[in-house]
Amino acid sequence: MAYTIASPRLGTVGDVYEPADGVNVEALIEGGFIKSTIKSTKSDKPSKDTNEEN
């Protein structure tokens, strides 16, 4: 997973961020400090289960 810095508290905004060991990445995303560079696509959506029994 690749991230970019979104807050100057973490570094230069726009730079690639590589989390060190022990860093809570989810907290950084939740707090708006970093952004994932991978955008979700239609293929990320869960596929329909076609084996459902009716």
Partner 1 sequence: MATSTYLSNPVVTINAVDMTDQCTSAVFTRMIESLESTAFGQTNRSYVGGLENSTLTVTMYNSFAASETYATLKTLVGTQVTVKVKPTSAATSATNPESTLTGAYLESLPIVNGQLGALDTIDISFTGGAYSVAIA
Task: Please report, as ranges, the residues that interact with partner 1 according to CB under 8 A.
Answer: 7-10, 19-24, 26-28, 30-33
Nearer CB in complex with partner 1: 26/49: 26
50 alpha carbon, distance to own chain's centre? 29
- Find the angle CA(42)-CA(40)-CA(17) to the nearest 5 degrees: 165
State the minimum distance, in angstroms, from the CB of residue 6 to partner 1. Answer: 8
Nearer CB in complex with partner 1: 20/42: 20
| Strand 16-17 to 34-36 pairing | unpaired
Nearer CB in complex with partner 1: 22/46: 22
Q: Across-strand partners of 36?
A: 3
